[in-house]
Amino acid sequence: MQDDLFGGPPAPPPSPAPHKQPPESYTPTDGLGTHPAPPSRPRRTGVHPAPGHDDLRVLADALPPQLRMGTSSWTYPGWKGLVWEGEHSESMLSKQGLPVYALHPLLRTVSIDRSFYRPLTVSQYERYASQVPDDFRFVVKAPSLVTDALVRAEDGRGREPNPAFLSPDLARSEFVEPALQGLGHKLGVLVFQLSPLPLAQLDRLPLLLERLRAMLLAQPALAPLAPDGVIAVEVRDPEWLTPNFAAVLREAGATYCLGLHAKMPALKDQLPVLRALWPGPLVCRWNLHPVHGPYGYEDAEKLYQPYDRLHHPDEETRTELAAVIAGMTGRGQNAFVTISNHAEGSAPHTVLGLARAVAGASGHATPGADASAQVESAGTAV
């Protein structure tokens, strides 16, 4: 019990008078013989934060300020009690969920994935930006219009070569410029996630590298409007991960997006590209648990829905990723990490587990150590 201003304990509040229950046959009236309706309790409408966020702020304060973690989208009803309270439809969360999502102490970024399927307009990006705090940053996926080598049917199968693949003009007009103008300083990362290449294209990687180089160099500078903004390239074929690929990214001022996906090598085997780009920010998208294999999104979706708990905790990946985050943020670099429900079963739970791992790893990071060496050793530290 807290003492009062003069040092003594406050007097206990008076006991409330016992409430007498009326007999069952009693019906209230208004004195005129009529029976007014009982006063209605105000209905709580809209989406509201889940309880318990105050406890998470202590953990959030222990994380590096350069770290922004988040999820892929925010429209999942199964996150009740984790991000928001109560039952809500996907439609309701699509319209009203983002401001509540952004109140979560550990969620300081989010991946806008819908832009992969159709380019968004400046006004759509502006609406997103208006719903989040000043320190929030967005990760945005480039439209498949420019990142897929194939034009695909509705079932995902490639129909024919895509003439707009890696088009500098379309990348700028349909993606980079609208996102930059609409999000402004709240833009964090523009991700060009290159879809798996057909075999014929894999044999022509030197040519595709030159096309990638031309596309990246044609994009406007982000810094004037988005000081934290960076362009990142994520791939789905390990054949991209060469010194020449890193050289193209470095020349264009872009970075590599660590893609934690069953199609790609383990995290520690992707670190050489980051070492070649040091110093620079960390961008990571934790997409799919390897237990499902390279084509296991549908299997993961069936097993993990409604995404309210962990099914396949991946402690090894958490520990390795936490070490990389601590090493890079310990030298002042920004880190953007977005996590899918398909990583372990529930993205908010994975964010919490990774936050705890980062808080522990950051406590042991050595700010004066060579950060490239920390990145190099992070994959073998477990």
pLDDT of residue 41: 47
Spatial distance between the Cα atoms of 5 and 62, rounded to a whole number of angstroms: 33
DSSP E strand stretches across 287-369: 335-339
- Which of the four pLDDT bands, split at 50, 70 and 90, describes residue 191? very high
Q: 48-103, pLDDT tens digit by residue?
A: 999 988 889 999 999 999 999 999 999 999 999 999 999 999 999 999 999 999 99
Q: 197-234, pLDDT tens digit by residue?
A: 998 899 899 999 999 999 999 999 999 999 999 999 99
- Find the helix packing angle between 53-61 and 347-362, rounded to 10°: 40
Identify whether the C-beta of residue 300 lies closer than 8 Å to the C-beta of residue 342: yes
pLDDT of 268 higher than 70: yes
**Which residues lie closer than 8 Å to 238 by C-beta, 6 or more apart?**
263, 264, 265
Q: Structural domains in the chain? A: 53-378 (3.20.20.410)
Query: Rounded mean pLDDT of the chain?
Result: 87
Spatial distance between the Cα atoms of 274 and 325, rounded to a whole number of angstroms: 12
- Which of the four pLDDT bands, split at 50, 70 and 90, describes residue 12? very low
Structure-block tokens of residue 220: 């406007």
Higher pLDDT, 360 or 24: 360
Angle subtended at Cα 317 by Cα 136 and Cα 324, rounded to the nearest 5 degrees:
60
pLDDT of 10 higher than 70: no
Distance of CA 339 to the CA centre of its chain: 5
Spatial distance between the Cα atoms of 171 and 173, rounded to a whole number of angstroms: 6
Q: How many CA atoms lie within 13 A of 329 on its CB side?
A: 25
Pairing type for strands 158-161 and 150-152 reads antiparallel
Q: How many Cβ atoms sit within 10 Å of the Cβ of residue 185?
A: 14
Q: 105-152, pLDDT tens digit by residue?
A: 999 999 999 999 999 999 999 999 999 999 999 999 999 999 999 998
Q: 230-257, pLDDT tens digit by residue?
A: 999 999 999 999 999 999 999 999 999 9
pLDDT of residue 1: 39
DSSP state letters, 29-41 = --SSS--PPPPPP
Structure-block tokens of residue 330: 């310990």
Q: 287-331, pLDDT tens digit by residue?
A: 999 999 988 989 999 999 999 999 999 999 999 999 999 999 999
Identify whether the C-beta of residue 136 lies closer than 8 Å to the C-beta of residue 102: yes
pLDDT of residue 373: 54
Structure-block tokens of residue 134: 């000043």
Identify whether the C-beta of residue 213 lies closer than 8 Å to the C-beta of residue 250: no
* CA-based nearest residue to 216, from 224, 208, 225: 208
What pTM does this model have?
A: 0.85
Rg of the chain's alpha carbons, rounded to an integer? 25
Least confident of 168-172, 275-279, 289-293, 334-338: 289-293
Average of per-residue pLDDT across 189-203: 94
Residue 80 DSSP class: B
DSSP state letters, 240-252 = G-SHHHHHHHHHH
